[in-house]
Amino acid sequence: MRKVSARARTLIQRRYSIPGISGSYYFAMSLRFATLGLLAQRPGSGYDLLRRFEKSMANVWPATQSQLYGELNKLADAGLIEVADIGPRGRKEYRVTDAGRAELIRWIGDAQDDPPMRRPDVLRIFLLGELPADDARRYASAFAEFAASELKRLEQLRDSIDWGEADADFYGRAALEFGLRDAAMEEQWARWLVTSIDDRSRR
């Protein structure tokens, strides 16, 4: 896979951030339901959950190991999950409770609390005219570079999974397809923008 530049890494960090208190709250709530959803699909330990998260939901809602483990404790304290089994060396396997499944179903079917989508990276596009053309071009190039790298990563992920017939596989594949198409579109659009900036500079 092509190495991503520091500028492109900064772009992805900004792309998925939602600044402010409301953004922090939304992150916590979304991680809660991502964790709850994985356990509703299949019980598992914290380690099991982390591995599954990294290959699935982390592609749309990144989180660290400490954040994920912390969410397990919060869900258990709230009675939404429970310890189903304790294995060797105190390994705990969690499962969703009836209350947890009911809360998950409520959240899936009700998008009223979701905040409006914010794309700081696209907002910058509106304001690129305040920069010299070379800097605007570098930003657009970094945008395209990241999108191409993300597309390649998602293609490799798609090809590495043995997709089954279960509902979880079907809808997981559907979510991944959204990412593939979105990354392809964003790369194409950003390369168009680079070419357009070049054309303006030659006038």
Q: What is the pLDDT of residue 55?
A: 79
Q: What is the pLDDT of residue 134?
A: 94
Q: What is the pLDDT of residue 165?
A: 92
Q: For the chain of 203 residues, list the mean pLDDT of each consecutive stretch of 10.
A: 44 39 46 89 90 79 83 94 88 94 91 76 92 94 94 92 90 91 96 96 84
Q: What is the pLDDT of residue 29?
A: 61
Q: What is the pLDDT of residue 172?
A: 87
48: which residues sit within 8 A by CB, 6+ positions away?
A: 93
State the pTM of this model.
0.70
